[in-house]
Amino acid sequence: MPCWNNDNIYKELMIQVQADLVREKSGVGASVLRKEDDRYMRGQGEFIADIKRPAMQELAFVRSPVAHAFIRGVKKPAGYEDRVFIAADLVGVSPITAISALPGFKRSSQPILATDKICHVGEPIAVCVAQTRAEAEDIAALVELDLEELPAIVDMRAALQPGSLLVHEPWGDNVFLETSVDHGFAAAASGAPIIISKHLRTARQCMSPMEGRGVVAMWEPRLEQLVLHTSTQMPHIVRSGLSECLGLPEDMVRIIAPDVGGGFGYKGILLGEEVCAGYLARHLGHPVRWIEDRREQLTGNANCREHDYELTAYADHDGMLLALDARAIVDAGAYSLYPFSACLEAAQIASILPGPYRMNGYRCITWSAATNKPGILPYRGVARAGVCYAMEVIMDAIAQETGLPPEEVRLRNLVLPSMMPFDNITNKHFDSGDYPEALRRALNAIDMPAWRARQAAATGTVKIGIGLAVFCEQGAHGTSVYAGWGIPMVPGFEQASARLTADGGLELRVGIQSHGQGLETTLAQVAHESLGLPIERIKITHGDTGLTPYSTGTWGSRCMVMAGGAVATACQDLAARIAPIGAHLLQVATDDVTVAHGYVSTGSRHVSIAEVARTWYRRPQDLPDGIAHGGLEVTAGYKAKRDSGTFSYAAHAAVVSVDTETGDIALLDYAICEDGGTLVNPMIVDGQLIGGIAQGIGTALYEAMRFDDNGQPSASTLADYTLPGATEMPRLRIEHMATPSPYTVFGQKGIGEGGAIGPPAAIANAVNDALRPLGVELSALPITPHMVMSALLRARRDTA
């Protein structure tokens, strides 16, 4: 029984004062420095390529040099028969299939190693095993391929033409899925005085995290378990998919994602390489490792973002958008990738194209086209970067037609705060916010009138343009949304485990994976907010199926809402376990205590949570029988009050200069006003925005993976595939609004993708704003100097 003398109480009180100070600095809303950065900044992170195991061998894949071919034969080099593996060697291994339950979806079967047909350049055909990667590549260079090359299906519009060659012959066409929605279109469009049509295209991009993918696979005889370290965003999903492909029960597979150097969607996938490595580790009796190199990333593995839009907007002279008619094609490549499938992108287009705007009629047909290119994955922002671009071009077109300023057209059409929560025309449920205010603040941040004056004064070869983009970002969407798409992964309750250690520390285990989001810090902030334990005593374990409860992983701006909600719930449940012990120590009834700030308290008396832990673990004799038999470890599940997602939103304003003799574009100013609800860590949110904007600038101005008529990718190094870098980043002005979501624990909203969504639209509109007086309007991304110059020269010829 603790003895409370005055000294002790004084000490405890002082500790509590200090704890309150710490809480001010570390709870929800504090810009806590990232816990994980200590190891990253010291070069002590452990990424896949840092992992070595005794007797480990390296893998190199023989990949198809052509886009479309029948395989006549694969000849292993003499003397290396036991070092080279082809499809027939992978006994009992199933191909990857990622289906969608949407009606009419056509299933593709992605072989782990190609069997009879090649469907894109870079498709794995054989795998070679050697002591070093260089030796494995030497062997790979000796493997002889006998391929009967076929004409390639490269362009998505051509792929949809009747009579096109087929990627998958049994289908009869090149359509994974066609969808169609119509919400009162004809009636709303009827009689509209303004009709605008646009044809827009976005480029195929290569998601380019600093660390590529990689896998270290080993068979653990003691545990009778395949242990696979892999650079993934979703370890539990990889486990399910891998188990199915290898025919192993899930308890015999453990997936560990160590430090992961960026994902952005590129690592939200089950890879054939993972299946291959898993199979080989089990059957060769030694660990194997594959590290994706930049050429594999650029030329062989999944791409993203290639859209084609035909839009017709119906508006009135007041600038009101009445109805929108859209036909959208997504180039989904050859295979439906696991788990997001080939149709998620197009399904998203259909449902989110209307953006943050009101309209009375909407019709949208989408096609997910199959071509002889790698499959696609949902890259940061998923389809939103494309639809935001499409919709914002329409807004500018309405401004042109009506003579209204572009900002005025948007202010008239945005959903208003008085309408919140608002169900839009595709039944998206906008949870909260003031969209027009975000736009007004962004305009204010760049000082719109001043730039308009400078624009008017620019008389030389360098023109100035201003562009806007407003969008909302559905994040953390849950069961109801994904069940509708019926893909292999539907998020349900998000779980977290919380365990108090005997010395009063807190261990949290979550099934998501943190690869740049700073979740080791922000989830600790959430737990600190709930229990008040010092943040440095809160340890987050993530990315390991052996240690963490199930989760669909890190994607869709979901972690701060879902894993954050789960951690808060687990901490509350833990507090309910702590309370009776503390109450016993304080000799009061459980109902008379509260658990907060690191203490169990009743009136002015306290006992620390650490003391509660010490008592339960180390001095159980101090507790009566029957108290807290469940212990100080809980797993809790969480769903938001509505699972249709949070809606963060933002307005972006970009100012560009365009050199009309070189086509060079420079970003002169860039402002964002973003509302992510309650920000758990504003510094990390700003970091997310800045990084996202860099990627959005890439989409707008730099990144494109082109394919020639034979389906050959045009770039195989980062010298050819142009990514934006530090020198391409403008000074950013970031403003925040903070309208809490009514449906989440702290009012937080998913915010992780927003930065990447706005720039293509804002920058493209700015370039067109600069060039329109010269008779030029561009309608494809990225906007390259060559494209600008080409259009300018054409316009000059036309006016000459």
Partner 1 sequence: MKPAPFTWSAAPTLDAACGTMRAGGRAIAGGQSLGPMLNLRIAQPDRLVSIARISALCGVSETADDVTIGACVTHAQIEDGQAPDIGQDILPRVAANIAYRAVRNRGTIGGSLCHADPAADWVTVLLALGAQALTHAPSGSRIIALDGFFTGAFRTNLTPGEVLHAIRIPRLTPDARFGYYKICRKPGEFAHAMAAVFISKNIARVVIGALGTIPLVLMGAEATPDGVEPAFRSRTTMLDEVTQHMQLTAVKRAFARAAA
Query: Where along the sequence are the contacts to partner 1 (CB under 8 A)?
Result: 132-134, 137-138, 141, 293-295, 661-664, 702, 716-717, 719, 722, 724-725, 727-728, 784-786, 789-790, 793
Residue closer to partner 1 by CB (options 102, 665) is 665
Minimum CB separation of residue 46 from partner 1 in Å reads: 22
Residue closer to partner 1 by CB (options 299, 768) is 299
Nearest 5°: phi and psi at 542?
-145, 165
DSSP 3-state helix, strand, coil percentages of the chain (rounded to 5)? 35, 25, 40
Minimum CB separation of residue 337 from partner 1 in Å reads: 24
Q: What is the largest CA-CA distance in the chain?
A: 97
Minimum CB separation of residue 93 from partner 1 in Å reads: 27
Q: How far apart are CA 744 and CA 749, in angstroms?
A: 8
Minimum CB separation of residue 236 from partner 1 in Å reads: 31
Q: To which residue do tokens 């202010």 refer?
A: 411
Paired sense of beta strands 646-659 and 57-63, if any = unpaired
Q: 328 in the Ramachandran plot: left (φ > 0), alpha (ψ -120 to 50) or beta?
A: beta
Which tokens belong to 787?
């494209």
Q: How far apart are CA 158 and CA 154, in angstroms?
A: 8
Minimum CB separation of residue 19 from partner 1 in Å reads: 47
Minimum CB separation of residue 245 from partner 1 in Å reads: 27
Contact assessment for residue 119 and residue 147, using Cβ atoms and an 8 Å cutoff: no
DSSP structural state of residue 55: T
Residue closer to partner 1 by CB (options 64, 366) is 64
> Could you write out the DSSP letters of every residue in 653-708?
EEEEEEETTT--EEEEEEEEEEE-BS-S-HHHHHHHHHHHHHHHHIIIII----B-
Minimum CB separation of residue 791 from partner 1 in Å reads: 9
Minimum CB separation of residue 373 from partner 1 in Å reads: 21
Output the CA angle 410-310-317, nearest 5 degrees: 35
Residue closer to partner 1 by CB (options 109, 131) is 131
Chain length of the chain: 800
Residue closer to partner 1 by CB (options 216, 745) is 216
Output the CA angle 387-390-391, nearest 5 degrees: 85
Residue closer to partner 1 by CB (options 251, 664) is 664
Contact assessment for residue 77 and residue 62, using Cβ atoms and an 8 Å cutoff: no
Q: How far apart are CA 475 and CA 381, in angstroms?
A: 10
Which tokens belong to 472?
């909302």
- The number of C-alpha atoms within 13 Å of 149 and in the hemisphere containing its C-beta is 11
Residue closer to partner 1 by CB (options 137, 408) is 137
> Could you write out the DSSP letters of every residue in 547-592?
TS-----S-TT-HHHHHHHHHHHHHHHHHHHHHHHHHHHHTS-GGG
Minimum CB separation of residue 729 from partner 1 in Å reads: 11
Helix (H, G, I), strand (E, B) or coil at 456: helix
Residue closer to partner 1 by CB (options 136, 636) is 136
Please name the residues in contact with 117: beta carbons below 8 A apart, sequence gap of 6 or more. Answer: 69, 70, 71
Sign of CA dihedral 533, 535, 539, 542: positive
Residue closer to partner 1 by CB (options 452, 796) is 796
Contact assessment for residue 467 and residue 654, using Cβ atoms and an 8 Å cutoff: yes
Minimum CB separation of residue 662 from partner 1 in Å reads: 5
Q: How far apart are CA 495 and CA 405, in angstroms?
A: 48
Minimum CB separation of residue 219 from partner 1 in Å reads: 26
Residue closer to partner 1 by CB (options 683, 787) is 787
Contact assessment for residue 229 and residue 242, using Cβ atoms and an 8 Å cutoff: no
Minimum CB separation of residue 759 from partner 1 in Å reads: 16
Residue closer to partner 1 by CB (options 222, 786) is 786
- Residue 99: count other Cβ atoms within 10 Å of its Cβ: 18
Q: How far apart are CA 156 and CA 520, in angstroms?
A: 42
Minimum CB separation of residue 786 from partner 1 in Å reads: 5
C-alpha R_g of the chain: 28
Output the CA angle 113-117-122, nearest 5 degrees: 55
Residue closer to partner 1 by CB (options 42, 786) is 786
Residue closer to partner 1 by CB (options 235, 782) is 782
Minimum CB separation of residue 297 from partner 1 in Å reads: 10
Sign of CA dihedral 108, 114, 120, 124: positive
Residue closer to partner 1 by CB (options 280, 667) is 667
Residue closer to partner 1 by CB (options 141, 186) is 141
Residue closer to partner 1 by CB (options 23, 133) is 133
Output 627-632 pairs: Cβ under 8 A, ≥24 positions apart: 627/580, 627/581, 627/584, 628/577, 628/580, 628/581, 630/577, 631/577, 632/499, 632/500, 632/574, 632/577, 632/578
Residue closer to partner 1 by CB (options 73, 460) is 460
Minimum CB separation of residue 426 from partner 1 in Å reads: 38
